[in-house]
Each structure stands twice: as structure tokens, then as C-alpha cells.
């Protein structure tokens, strides 16, 4: 590939190419007026079954499985490939125009929550579940939750983008981000060698945040042949943990919500029976 000489000032005059290029733009805010639908349940989720979307639906299904009926939710589909995230109603819930976004309508004044980590923490605190209250255990859980928020962009936006989505295969970025993806897997593997779950003996929102990304990666669900390319069989503790979480009924339910490709599609979820 020819070397690129950046101009003095970058301008947005061409599409960069590659998957998702058509929805990328250098400005924020709404592109069109569109109200969001509101269903009958206390929680209204606007999302899609990507790894970031699955975190929230898995937690909601786990809360419902524990008997927290206040966690009943409507899950509306946001088709990011069609630009639904740039509708005015969605931007009012998430000014960053990315799924997942949540409105809690259970109180007198609706509360908006965006960023999947913030949504997990909000729901865990609201229902007193999947986030330990003892200070050391809570600090460990939140440390790993925020580890995921900082790390996954290198896996998805870095490795996944250049390995699977960029318009051509470029050695430099693929090398750089494969190295980082493997380093992150090794961080998890070393942790899971001494701990059943990410934050300790208990399954928490740290597992729920990390599993759709790194569990999905070692299970071969992300980015084509990336599991073989990254030799994921080396991370046997991550594989053990990924299988254990995979087997949870609430995880199997949550993974399906807002899914619009592959098997078991469920574009919207408005009742528990939609998943039965
Ligand atoms: N840090 C955010 C990332 C969310 C995110 O990247 N969402 C993607 C789908 S997985 C999205 O909505 N992309 C649409 C866009 O970039 O326009 C979170 O954890 O919630």
C-alpha cells in the first residue's frame, strides 16, 4: 500500500471505505426527527444484539430470573446500519448516538442512561444484584467493568476493524491490534486461572460486560476466522469461563434479544414469552 501523506488540515470529503463507513461522520447530533416508541414496561431499551447490546439484555434477563419483576423491559430495535441512532429521539437518550441506550420510566421523572458500563452499574445498583456491596469486592468488580470499557475498543475498533472490516488487509494495524488483543486475552487468562469469575467467586456485571466480547472471541463468534488467527485455544481459563457463562439460561435468552441476523432472531422483545 502506498504511503499516505496527511494534508495540513483533514477534511471530510470522501468516504473512507470498508464496512460501516456509510454511517461514520465527524459530527454529532441528530440527522432527522424521529420519536422513539414507548412500551408498557418500566424499562425501555433501545438497542441491537451486538456485544455491547447483549450486555444489557443479559443483565435484564438475569435480574428477571432472580425474580426482580421491576426489571421487565421493552427492547426496541435500533438498526445502526440504517442510521436509526441519529434520530432525534435516540439522540435525546444518548447524545453519543450509539446503542445501547436505556430509559427508566419507573419513577415520576424518566431517567436516561447511556454507555453500556453505566447502564450495567445503574441496573445493578437499582436492584441490588450482580455488584457486590462489600468495598473490596465492589472495587474489584468495578475495576474489571471499567477495564472492559477501555479495552474492548482496541479489540473491536482496532483488531476487528482492520482484520474484518477495513477495505483492504494492512499488515501494520493488524499486527499492532492482534498483539494487543492477545495481550488482553492473556490478562483475562491469568486472572481466570486464579478466580472462578472475573471479580472473584461470584458472577457479576464484570462477567456480563466482558463475556460478549472476549467470550465471543474465544468461542469463534467474532470477526470471521479470528479465533484461529489469534490461537484462542491457548487461553484455556478464558475458554472454561466462557463455556460456563454460555450455559446460563439468562445468557442464552439475553443474547437473542434484538438479534436480526443468524439463528433465533428476535428483533424486538416486549414480553418474557417472546423468548420462550
Ligand atoms: N462505549 C459504548 C460503545 C457503544 C457502541 O460502540 N455501539 C455501537 C454498536 S456495538 C454503535 O451503536 N455504533 C453505531 C455508530 O457508531 O454509529 C458502550 O459501551 O455503550
> Can 43-130+257-275 and 135-248 be said to share one CATH topology?
no
pLDDT for residue 1 is more than 80: no
Q: Which of 99, 151, 157 to mutate to test the pocket of ligand 1 (most atoms within 8 A of CB)?
A: 99
pTM over cut 0.75: yes
Residue 170 confidence (pLDDT) above 90: yes
Tens of pLDDT, residue by residue over 16-57, are 777 777 788 999 999 999 999 999 999 999 999 999 999 999
Distance 134 CA to ligand 1 centre (A): 31
How many whole angstroms from 65 Cα to the centroid of ligand 1? 27
Task: State in Å: Cα 1 to ligand 1 middle.
Answer: 30
C-alpha radius of gyration, the chain, whole number: 19
Could you give the C-alpha distances from 67 to 36, 121, 250, 271, in angstroms and in order? 28, 19, 12, 15
Q: Which of 24, 85, 90, 98 to mutate to test the pocket of ligand 1 (most atoms within 8 A of CB)?
A: 98
Does the Cβ of 80 fall within 6 Å of ligand 1?
yes
Rounded distance from Cα 95 to ligand 1 centre (Å): 12
Residue 99 Cβ inside 6 Å of ligand 1? The answer reads yes
State pLDDT tens for residues 110-140.
999 999 999 999 999 999 999 999 999 999 9
Residue among 21, 52, 87, 261 whose CB has most ligand 1 atoms within 8 A, to mutate: 52
**Beta pairing class for 111-114 and 43-47:** unpaired
Give the C-alpha separation, 208 to 215, whole Å: 10
**What is the average per-residue pLDDT within 156-172?**
97
CA-to-CA distance for 48 and 59, rounded, in angstroms?
15
> Does the pLDDT of residue 199 top 90, yes or no?
yes
Q: Give residue limits of the domains in the chain.
A: 43-130+257-275, 135-248
Ligand 1 center from residue 21 Cα (angstroms):
14
Of 1.10.1060.10, 1.20.1050.10, 1.10.540.10, 3.40.190.10, the CATH number of 135-248 is: 1.20.1050.10
Cα(106)–Cα(217) distance, integer angstroms: 36
Q: Can you name the CATH fold of 43-130+257-275?
A: Glutaredoxin (3.40.30)
Of the candidates 49, 61, 62, which has an alpha carbon nearest to the alpha carbon of residue 216? Answer: 49
DSSP H helices in the chain: 51-65, 88-93, 116-127, 135-153, 171-194, 205-210, 216-218, 226-229, 236-246, 249-256
Task: Dump pLDDT digits (tens) for 230-255.
Answer: 999 999 999 999 999 999 999 999 99
Amino acid at each position: 500500500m502506498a504511503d499516505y501523506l496527511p494534508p495540513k488540515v483533514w477534511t471530510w470529503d470522501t468516504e473512507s471505505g470498508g464496512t460501516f463507513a456509510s454511517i461514520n461522520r465527524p459530527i454529532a447530533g441528530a440527522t432527522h426527527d424521529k420519536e422513539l416508541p414507548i412500551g408498557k414496561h418500566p424499562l425501555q431499551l433501545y438497542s441491537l444484539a451486538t456485544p455491547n447490546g447483549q450486555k444489557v439484555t443479559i443483565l435484564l434477563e438475569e435480574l428477571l430470573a432472580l425474580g426482580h419483576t421491576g426489571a421487565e423491559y421493552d427492547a426496541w430495535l435500533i438498526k445502526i446500519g440504517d442510521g436509526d441512532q441519529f434520530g432525534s429521539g435516540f439522540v435525546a437518550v444518548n447524545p453519543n448516538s450509539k446503542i445501547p441506550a436505556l430509559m427508566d420510566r419507573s419513577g415520576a421523572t424518566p431517567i436516561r442512561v447511556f454507555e453500556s458500563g453505566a447502564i450495567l452499574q445503574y441496573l445493578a445498583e437499582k436492584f441490588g444484584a450482580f455488584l457486590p456491596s462489600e468495598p473490596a469486592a465492589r472495587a474489584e468488580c468495578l475495576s474489571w467493568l471499567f477495564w472492559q470499557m477501555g479495552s474492548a475498543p482496541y479489540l473491536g475498533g482496532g483488531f476487528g476493524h482492520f482484520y474484518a472490516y477495513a477495505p483492504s488487509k494492512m499488515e501494520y494495524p493488524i499486527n499492532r491490534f492482534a498483539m494487543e488483543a492477545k495481550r488482553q486475552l492473556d490478562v483475562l487468562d491469568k486472572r481466570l486461572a486464579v478466580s472462578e469469575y472475573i471479580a472473584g467467586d461470584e458472577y457479576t456485571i464484570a462477567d456480563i460486560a466482558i463475556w460478549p466480547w472476549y467470550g465471543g472471541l474465544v468461542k469463534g463468534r467474532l470477526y470471521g476466522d479470528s479465533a484461529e488467527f489469534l490461537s484462542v485455544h491457548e487461553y484455556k481459563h478464558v475458554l472454561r469461563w466462557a463455556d460456563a457463562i454460555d450455559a446460563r439460561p439468562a445468557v442464552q435468552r439475553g443474547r437473542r434479544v434484538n438479534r436480526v441476523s443468524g439463528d433465533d432472531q428476535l428483533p424486538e422483545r416486549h414480553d418474557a414469552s417472546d423468548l420462550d
